[in-house]
């Protein structure tokens, strides 16, 4: 296994280009609507399955798994989705605004308890960085040494 | 009819403020003043000052979030586009995500509980390092509050994207794969956008970690969180 020498990761693809290309969005509007409908069908299917079988899993997560499988076996091509996925993920944070506005109902709670939230939020974030980074660093380095 | 006008107004208000906040964010470039934070604060201020209650905002909310589910399903695409990378680094990726997710969920929930916070806040804390659309859904399933969950997610993402890279360097975590995965796992989308400045590989890895940790936690949360509480 090649784990050193990162030149072999040219194929690492990044979809995250926030806040760009508004013009492309307007030109491709019909394409985007159709592709969004396809995404919606998969999402709906995921929701239907988890509800029907009472699986304690978000319908959207099952949707991700379904779409990943359909892409992998070639039933759906990436070109059929990319025009919709790009703007949707780019503006993903828009959808959280209406949800976060509900916080106006929780104002008192945050004023009273707010200071108590910092410790768990900050410590667990550092733990996440250290645990993930540490484990992966250790594994990739030891693998490299084995190879050498 | 009046409620219809109100719904139209709240939707236009939200969209308008969102695009204004995008411009502000691009201009001032202060990392923690994200469009989400600016917009939410502005909208809450407008609603309060014009005497509109959240109940009146709610119908517009369900229309505006209609596409959140389909958009979330779209996260499969970046994961699929990085499948070669995923296959090549499967063991470090999976172990990193399992260890990272379990340790962060456990510390968040246990520390929140020890701090004497209400059950609702403790439960909403569990999904703090998960990307918001999935955090919302998980917190509904495990009995947290979606809005509070979003607040924790955004706080975590902002904190992670501000201090994450320097903290990793301080801990001598230097390989691009490890840095990318750590940022994506700890600070989801915001961490991904930040670590992308270090390079494509880091950015792609962060995206992979963000999607996989969300999937992993949504599988374990319904059993693990009640056990922790």
Is residue B96 over pLDDT 80? yes
Q: Which residues in chain B are contacts of A93 at CB distance < 8 A?
A: 34-36, 132, 189
B132-142 and A59-72 helices cross at what angle (nearest 10)?
130
d(CA A67, CA B75): 9
The domain spans of chain A are 1-90, 97-148
Does the CB of B159 have a partner CB in chain A at under 8 Å?
yes
Q: Would you call B115 and A36 a contact, using CB atoms and an 8 Å cutoff? A: no
Task: Indicate the DSSP class of residue A53.
Answer: T
Nearby residues of A37 by Cβ (< 8 Å), 6 or more positions away: none
> What is the distance of C-alpha B82 from the center of its chain?
21
Which pLDDT band holds residue A5 (cuts at 50, 70, 90)? very low
Contact yes or no for B228/B110 (Cβ under 8 A): yes
- Spatial distance between the Cα atoms of B84 and A8, rounded to a whole number of angstroms: 11
Cβ under 8 Å to A: B residues 12-41: 14-15, 17-18, 22, 25-26, 34-36, 39-40
pLDDT given at position A24: 60
- Token pair belonging to A98: 């209406």
Q: What is the mean pLDDT of residues B63-86?
A: 91
Partner-chain contact B155 A121, CB within 8 Å: yes
In this structure, the number of other CB atoms found within 10 A of the CB of residue A25 comes to: 15
CA A118/CA B145 separation, integer angstroms = 18
User: Is A144 a residue whose pLDDT tops 90?
Assistant: no
Check if the beta carbon of residue A61 is closer than 8 Å to that of residue B215: yes
- The nearest CA of chain A is from the CA of B68 a distance in Å of 6
Contacts of B18 (CB under 8 A, 6+ apart): A94, A97, B35, B39
- B26: buried, middle or exposed (CB in 10 Å: 19+, 13-18, 0-12)? exposed
Contact B116/A116 with Cβ under 8 angstroms?
Answer: yes
For residues B1 and B84, the model is more confident at B84
Residue A3 is predicted with a pLDDT of 33
Tell if the CB–CB gap between A13 and B78 is shorter than 8 Å.
yes
Which two tokens mark A23? 């013009």
Interchain CB distance below 8 Å, B57 and A141: no
Q: From the CA of A55, how many Å to the nearest CA of chain B?
A: 10
B144 touches chain A (CB under 8 A): no
For residue B2, name the pLDDT band (cuts at 50, 70, 90): low
A87-91, B84-88, B104-108, B137-141: segment of lowest average pLDDT = A87-91
- Taking an 8 Å cut-off on Cβ atoms, the answer to whether A122 and B116 are in contact is no
* Interface residue A108 vs chain B (CB under 8 A): no
Size of chain A, expressed as the number of residues it contains: 148
Whole-number pLDDT of residue B210: 93
Instruction: Provide ipTM, 2 decimals.
Output: 0.89
Q: Which of A90-94, B28-32, B54-58, B184-188 has the lowest mean pLDDT?
A: B28-32
Flag if B103 and A127 touch (Cβ within 8 Å).
Answer: yes
Dihedral angle, C-alpha A102, A108, A111, A116, nearest 10 °: -90
Q: Which residues contact B116 (CB under 8 A, 6 or more apart)?
A: A116
**Model confidence at A8: pLDDT above 80:** no
In total, the C-beta contacts within 8 angstroms joining chain A to chain B are 350
Is B89 within 8 Å of chain A by CB?
yes
| Mean pLDDT, residues B84-97 | 92
């Amino acid at each position: 296994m090649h784990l050193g020498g990162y030149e072999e990761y040219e194929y690492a693809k990044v979809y995250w280009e926030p806040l760009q290309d508004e013009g492309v969005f307007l030109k491709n509007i019909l394409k985007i609507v159709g592709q969004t409908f396809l995404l919606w069908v998969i999402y709906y299917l995921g929701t239907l399955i988890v509800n029907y079988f009472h699986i304690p899993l978000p319908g959207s997560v099952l949707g991700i798994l379904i779409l990943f499988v359909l892409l992998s076996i070639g039933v759906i091509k990436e070109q059929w989705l990319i025009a919709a996925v790009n703007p949707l993920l780019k503006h993903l944070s828009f959808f959280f605004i209406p949800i976060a506005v509900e916080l106006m109902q929780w104002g008192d709670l945050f004023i009273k308890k707010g200071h108590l939230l910092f410790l768990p939020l900050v410590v667990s974030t550092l733990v996440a960085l250290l645990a993930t980074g540490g484990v992966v660093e250790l594994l990739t380095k030891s693998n490299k040494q084995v190879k050498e | 009819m009046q409620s219809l006008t109100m719904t139209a107004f709240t939707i236009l208000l939200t969209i308008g403020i969102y695009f204004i906040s995008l411009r502000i964010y691009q201009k001032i470039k202060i990392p923690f003043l994200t469009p989400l934070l600016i917009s939410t604060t502005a909208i809450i201020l407008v609603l309060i000052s014009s005497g509109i209650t959240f109940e009146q905002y709610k119908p517009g909310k369900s229309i505006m979030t209609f596409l959140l589910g389909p958009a979330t399903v779209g996260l499969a695409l970046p994961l699929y586009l990085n499948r070669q990378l995923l296959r090549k680094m499967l063991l470090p990726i999976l172990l990193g995500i399992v260890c990272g997710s379990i340790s962060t969920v456990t510390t968040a929930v246990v520390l929140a509980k020890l701090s004497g916070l209400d059950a609702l806040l403790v439960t909403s804390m569990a999904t703090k390092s998960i990307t918001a659309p999935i955090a919302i859904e998980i917190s509904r399933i495990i009995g947290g509050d979606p809005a509070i969950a979003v607040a924790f997610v955004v706080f975590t993402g902002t904190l992670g994207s501000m201090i994450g890279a320097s903290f990793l360097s301080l801990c001598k975590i230097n390989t691009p794969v490890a840095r990318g995965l750590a940022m994506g796992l700890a600070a989801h989308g915001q961490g991904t956008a930040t670590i992308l400045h270090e390079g494509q590989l880091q950015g792609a890895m962060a995206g992979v970690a963000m999607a996989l940790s969300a999937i992993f936690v949504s599988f374990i949360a319904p059993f693990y969180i009640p056990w922790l509480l």
